[in-house]
Amino acid sequence: MAFEAIVKKQIVKLKGPSLKSVDLVMQELINTVKKCTKRLANFPRLCEETERIVANHIREREGKTKDQVLLLIDIQVSYINTNHEDFIGFANAQQRSSQVHKKSTIGNQGTNLPPSRQIVIRKGWLTVSNIGIMKGGSKGYWFVLTAESLSWYKDDEEKEKKYMLPLDNLKVRDVEKGFMSSKHVFALFNTEQRNVYKDYRSLELACDSQEDVDSWKASLLRAGVYPDKSFTENDENGQAENFSMDPQLERQVETIRNLVDSYMSIINKCIRDLIPKTIMHLMINNVKDFINSELLAQLYSSEDQNTLMEESVEQAQRRDEMLRMYQALKEALAIIGDINTVTVSTPAPPPVDDSWLQHSRRSPPPSPTTQRRLTLSAPLPRPASSRGPAPAIPSPGPHSGAPPVPFRPGPLPPFPNSSDSYGAPPQVPSRPTRAPPSVPSRRPPPSPTRPTIIRPLESSLLD
């Protein structure tokens, strides 16, 4: 039976997408396992072994899941259940095909068709190429093909309808492409030699590619517009394609098409429901149970536990660094605790009393002229000498050549206290009795605050 043969071929085509879905789920599971094992990166051997065991189990479940998916499709192919409650049935399919192929003469304004007769077969852009330049020239329109008519609009919004062409007694044929044209053209004409569009005997429609032309021809064939018989006999292959014009055969073809569409919708619904459930049961849930129940046992039996629990070099270095940091922080806290409990802070000393400085600044010192007059009027007492007896003035010997250099006295002793400023004036110091040195000693000059008394030279030295 043609219906069963077509349905079985369509069901077998579902194997490819179903197996592809299993592959996608398996790949996603493996990626998920890799993301989870990253938490075990501190133990590289354990991470590697866990990933290997789980991946092997997923691949095992992949084979069983694919076998089950193929089994489900083979079950659908084995028996075509025409008694399904959602199946349209032969009676309903024949009634629908008779409604589709029922021809009625309608005018150009026949837009009030019932919904069953306004089923859209195809939509798309086409160019009307045989309109003269004075009438607008070649221009693209939005075409809508239904089972009863071919309409075109100004744009794809379908608001402004340009024309509606009934499909009664229409056929399609190819038109040779022009010398300067890049479009692929086909034409619609009336078998009764009537005008198709206004005063045109044919309506030439252009597409961008030959694939679009073939697609539109197939859509027109579904709507009941067949290719011209005379044109098919002159095909490049030289083979004639006989298209029956028997209305009964056309209704049978439409009936089979309706039956196939109805049954395949049931199969697609069933496959879309069963394939995810099969994958979920045989792969995802099984892998979850395996990880919860058997993974730990296989890890214990695979290798030595000490080998599996070996840390990576990076983790060992990081642990040692953390331990050193812990000890350093612990010592720092102990030092901080000792400082807080042992150290005693003393208060700052009171401020220094500097009132006497301010008093001395307010009372200026006496004038130096007055002090000098007071000092000269009262003789200063001679201070006690601590250097011993004064040296005697040496007398020139008979054999001496040049007179000796006079000895310069040393610095005077400091003045007495301010209370003795009115005492006797200072006396001239006497010369020492010891012989003068061969080289005169240069003593530092006296203090500028003390008067220096210069004695006149003796007559013996001037001789």
Structural contact between residues 58 and 316, judged by C-beta atoms closer than 8 angstroms: no
pLDDT the model gives residue 116: 43
CA separation for the pair 224, 226 (Å, rounded): 6
309 Cα distance to chain centroid: 35
Give yes or no for a contact between 141 and 128, defined as CB atoms under 8 angstroms apart: yes
Alpha-carbon torsion, ordered 216, 221, 227, 233, to 10 deg:
110
127 contacts 136 by C-beta, under 8 angstroms = no
Residue 368: the pLDDT is 57
Distance (Å, whole) CA 412 – CA 387: 11
Instruction: Say what percent of the chain tops pLDDT 90.
Output: 21
Sequence-ordered strand ranges (E) for 337-451 = none
Q: Is the pLDDT of residue 56 over 90?
A: yes
Name the burial class of residue 248, with classes exposed (0-12), middle (13-18) and buried (19+) by CB atoms within 10 angstroms of its CB: exposed
What's the confidence (pLDDT) of residue 243?
45
Query: Residue 262: which residues within 8 A CB-CB, separation 6 or more?
Result: 86, 87, 88, 93
How many other C-beta atoms are found inside a 10 Å radius of the C-beta of residue 73?
Answer: 20
The pLDDT score that the predictor gives to residue 118 is: 61
pLDDT exceeds cutoff 80 at 463: no
The pLDDT of residue 168 is: 82
pLDDT at 89 over 90: no
> Going by C-beta distance under 8 Å and a sequence separation of 6 or more, which residues neighbour residue 111?
161, 164
Q: pLDDT at position 405, please?
A: 54
Phi-psi region of 266 (alpha: psi -120 to 50; beta: other; left: phi over 0): alpha
Asked if 275 and 25 count as a contact pair (C-beta separation under 8 A), the reply is: no
Stretch 409-434: mean pLDDT, rounded? 52
Q: Is the pLDDT of residue 340 over 50?
A: yes
CB 259 within 8 A of CB 3: yes
Helix (H) or strand (E) holding 190: strand 184-190
- pLDDT, position 112: 47
Q: How many CB atoms lie within 10 A of CB 312?
A: 14
Provide DSSP, 121-148: EEEEEEEE-SS-GGGT-SEEEEEEEESS
pLDDT band per the 50, 70, 90 thresholds, residue 183: confident
- Of 91, 62, 74, nearest to 255 (Cα)? 91
Query: If you ran DSSP here, which 8-state letter would residue 157 be given?
Result: T
Q: Read off the DSSP letter of residue 234.
A: T
Place of tokens 């005492």: 423
> Does the structure show a pLDDT above 60 at 370?
no
| Contact in structure between 189 and 112 (CB atoms under 8 Å) | no
Q: What is the pLDDT of residue 288?
A: 93
Residue 224 φ then ψ, to 5°: 95, 10
Query: What is the pLDDT averaged over residues 38-67?
Result: 90
Strand, coil or helix: 244 = coil
Q: How many CB atoms lie within 10 A of CB 215?
A: 14
Does 117-252 match 2-87+259-302 at the fold level? no
Domain boundaries in the chain? Answer: 2-87+259-302, 117-252
Length of the chain (residues): 463
Instruction: Tell me the CATH number for domain 2-87+259-302.
Output: 1.20.120.1240
295: tokens are 């993974």
What CATH class does 117-252 carry? mainly beta
Task: Please say if the pLDDT value at position 207 is more than 60.
Answer: yes
Strand partners, 403: none
> What pLDDT score was predicted for residue 325?
94
Pairing of the two strands 184-190 and 161-166: unpaired
Whole-model pTM: value is 0.44
**104 touches 116 (CB < 8 A):** no
Tokens in use for 462? 């001037």
pLDDT over 50 at 350, yes or no: yes
Is the model's pLDDT at 426 over the cut of 70?
no
Q: How far is CA 351 from CA 222, 348, 359, 461, in A?
A: 115, 9, 18, 66
* Two tokens, residue 16: 């490819």
Amino acid (one-letter) located at 262? S
Q: Does pLDDT of 447 surpass 60?
A: no
* CA pair distance 114, 96, nearest whole angstrom: 13
Q: Mind listing the pLDDT tens digit for each residue in 244-286? A: 445 667 777 888 888 888 889 999 999 999 999 999 999 999 9
Number of alpha carbons in the 13 Å side-chain half-sphere of residue 112: 0
Cα–Cα distance, 315 to 435 (Å, whole number): 96
DSSP string, 292-345: HHTHHHHHHHHS-HHHHTPPPHHHHHHHHHHHHHHHHHHHHHHHHHHHHHH--P
pLDDT tens for each residue of 292-334: 999 888 888 887 778 778 887 787 888 889 999 999 999 999 8
Question: For residue 60, what pLDDT band results from cuts at 50, 70 and 90?
Answer: very high
The mean predicted confidence, pLDDT, of the chain is 74
Is it the case that residue 58 has pLDDT exceeding 90?
yes
Q: Say if CB 34 and CB 290 are below 8 A apart.
A: no
CA angle centred on 84, ends 83 and 86, rounded to 5°:
130
Distances from the Cα of 31 to the Cα of 17, 25, 60, 288, 302, angstroms: 21, 10, 16, 15, 23
